[in-house]
Amino acid sequence: MKNLHSLKDLVCKLILDIAPEADMQSLDPNEELREELDLDSMDFMNLLDSIAKETGVNVPESDYAKVNSLQSLTEYIATRR
Amino acid sequence: MKILTMPSFGADMAVGTIVKWNVKPGDPVSRGDIIASIETMKGLIDMEVFDDGIIVTLLAAEGEELEIGRPIAELQLKNEEDSNNSSVQIVESGDAHSVDVGSNTAVNQEGASNSSDSQNDVTKESRVLTDVEVKSGDSINTRRPKISPAARNKAEQLGIDWRQLSQGTGPDGALLLDDINIADTQSAEPALDSVKGPKDMMRDAIAANVSRSKRDIPHYYLQLDMVLDNTLNWLSLHNADLPPSNRILSNAVIYSAIARTLSEFPAFNGFYRDGHYQPSDSVHLGNAISLRQGGLMVAAIHNAQNLGLLELMEKIKDQVNRARKGGLRMSEMQDATVTVSNLGDRGTDSIQSIIYPPQVAIIGIGRQRIVPWVIDNVVSSATIISMSLAADHRVSDGHSGARLLNKINKLLQTPEKLV
């Protein structure tokens, strides 16, 4: 559980690199991430790129539906590290 | 000697601040060198020089905010003899707006009140040589166009500074009487008011530009729904085993199809100036990038018609990242020959855009959406985009516009050909 927390912090940090104005405090972790933070397809690809570099977990396009919220994205990474 | 001025990076830019000089007096520079970083409403832009030479003086200090068109540095052009012609092409006398400048820098105070487009024209596009400079045997760029005596009289009567005008419609781009009359009506546009704040000025500049577009350009609009399934299927196969950094987005395929098609349709790719249309040999595809802090930036992807899909994807990615983080180059901001406006995944189904003068066409892309679609009398589902074209009826007709959109659609059905 502690690992999941630090992983979520890492993902939040990577999101802030891409969307510096994002309000991570008030983000509902189960809401659709791209919708909530106004991430376009380029932003999302850049986010997955930095996640791959930081964690070694590569999210293929076919799994995009499984990583559409902060919670599901973090869990997805956690189970594959 | 050439005076470098605060460049315009878009119709909605009124002022810029020099954040950092990368050169000092005495430094040699080559075409393409980045000499300064300029902070604008839209972030940090790298300013390039377009000539080889030596920086003589810096006329603006770091941190100083200047209106576009204000002089910021003096450049002695390569091979230029430094004696007689140093003040030749500098316009008019007046108070020098300067920091540490010598007395020979005469500056035209009217310069900044011109529209950003005519500034672009003056600084970049219409490099009409005057007799004086031709005799000096060098390809010195000057700001002074030729002018007929009648036009000159008229300009003086009307109080128009013709030296600030772009190329005219006469021989060798000489300004004729009509050009002065047109300039007179254009100068009636609301001038930028230095008392207003930068946000107001940006709004004013946008207002002036789109009003000019809607007033001067007889737009016509076309729209076509395009099925994207072939493109998306091809992309998912292509991207399947690739890390995110090597994936291609559907936008890149769409832009590539647009750029390649435009290279065969010159009536939609070029500049309309002073009653005359000049098609461009290359497609410098203006990509309208929305900025997180608000606003839009249009950055040109140079020679997009020659880029493979992977190259184009890299360019788009690099450009979007630089647009958002700073570091776009001046040349990217100024010479788009056509613009693509894309509202993205969460936009609306379609967009009808306003042409960016002096361009003659703008292509709008709505969001991808799944709709019922009839193929061979069977209704099935398809992912489509609505692509719109707004074009200048002075230059092209609906018939050729429709052919353009249909050709783009055809290319999108065979994305493998774009690689």
Contact B316/A42, CB-based, under 8 Å? yes
B247: which residues sit within 8 A by CB, 6+ positions away?
A45, A61, B238, B239
Give the span between the Cα atoms of B105 and B84, in whole angstroms: 14
- Name the strand (E) or helix (H) holding B162: none
- The domain limits of chain A are 2-80
A49–B243 C-beta distance less than 8 A: yes
pLDDT at B104: 32
Do B298 and B367 lie in one domain? The reply is yes
Mutate to test the interface with A, among B247, B325, B383 (most CBs of A within 10 A): B247
Q: Which residue, among B233, B245, B312, would best test binding to A if mutated, counting the most A CBs under 10 Å from its CB?
A: B245
Given this model, what pLDDT does residue B180 score? 76
Domain finish residue from B186, B209, B232: B209
The domain over range A2-80 is classified in CATH as 1.10.1200.10: yes
pLDDT of residue B177: 76
Q: Partners of B362 in the beta sheet?
A: B339, B390
Provide the residue type at B80 as one letter: E
> Do B104 and B89 touch, CB atoms closer than 8 A?
no
CA distance B263 to B39: 34
Tell me the residue range of the domain where B132 lies: 2-209
Model confidence pLDDT, tens digit, residues A24-70: 888 999 999 998 898 888 999 999 999 999 999 999 999 999 999 99
Give the count of Cβ contacts less than 8 A between chain A and B.
48
Smallest Cα–Cα separation from A47: which of A24, A67, A62? A67
Cβ A40–B292 below 8 Å, yes or no?
no
Number of H helices, E strands in chain B: 10, 18
Q: Is B241 near chain A, with CB under 8 Å?
A: yes
B320 close to A (CB below 8 A): yes
Domain with residue B311: its CATH number is: 3.30.559.10
Question: How many whole angstroms separate alpha carbon B410 and alpha carbon B257?
Answer: 9
Q: Supply B277's token pair.
A: 């249309």
CA distance B269 to B283: 7
Q: Cis link prior to B358 (omega < 30° from 0)? A: yes
List, as one string, the DSSP characters of B92-147: -------SS--TT----GGGGGS-HHHHHIIIII--PPPHHHHHTTS----S---B
The CATH number of the domain holding residue B51 is 2.40.50.100
Indicate the residue type of A66: K
Q: How far apart are alpha carbons A8 and A71 in whole angstroms?
A: 8
Note whether A38 contacts B: Cβ–Cβ < 8 A. yes
Give A-chain residues touching B317 at CB under 8 angstroms.
42, 45-46
Same domain, B366 and B389: yes
B396 shares its domain with B288: yes
pLDDT in tens, chain B (419 residues): 888 988 877 666 778 888 889 999 999 998 888 899 888 766 678 888 888 999 999 998 888 888 888 889 999 988 764 444 433 333 333 333 333 333 333 333 333 333 444 444 333 333 332 222 333 333 333 446 677 777 777 777 777 777 767 677 777 777 777 777 777 766 554 444 445 665 666 677 778 888 999 999 999 999 999 999 999 999 999 999 899 999 999 999 999 999 999 999 999 999 999 999 999 999 999 998 877 766 677 889 999 999 999 999 999 999 988 887 777 888 887 789 999 998 877 789 999 999 999 999 999 999 999 999 998 999 999 999 999 999 999 999 999 999 999 999 999 999 999 88
Tokens of B174: 């000489």
Count Cβ atoms below 10 Å from residue B179 Cβ, excluding itself: 27
Does the beta carbon of A26 lie under 8 angstroms from any beta carbon of chain B? no
H or E element: which one contains A77? helix A70-80
Residue found under tokens 């000489």: B174
Of A41, A55, A77, which to mutate for an interface test with B (greatest number of B Cβ within 10 Å)?
A: A41
Number of domains chain B is built from: 2
Q: Which residue of A has its CA nearest to B235?
A: A61
CA B390 → CA B258, B338, B340, B401, distances in Å? Answer: 14, 11, 10, 9
**So what's the pLDDT on residue B149?**
73
Chain A residue nearest residue B242, CA to CA: A60
Measure in Å the smallest separation between the Cα of A61 and chain B Cα atoms. 7
Q: Are B70 and B111 in contact (CB under 8 A)?
A: yes
Domain end, chosen from B209, B244, B277, is at B209
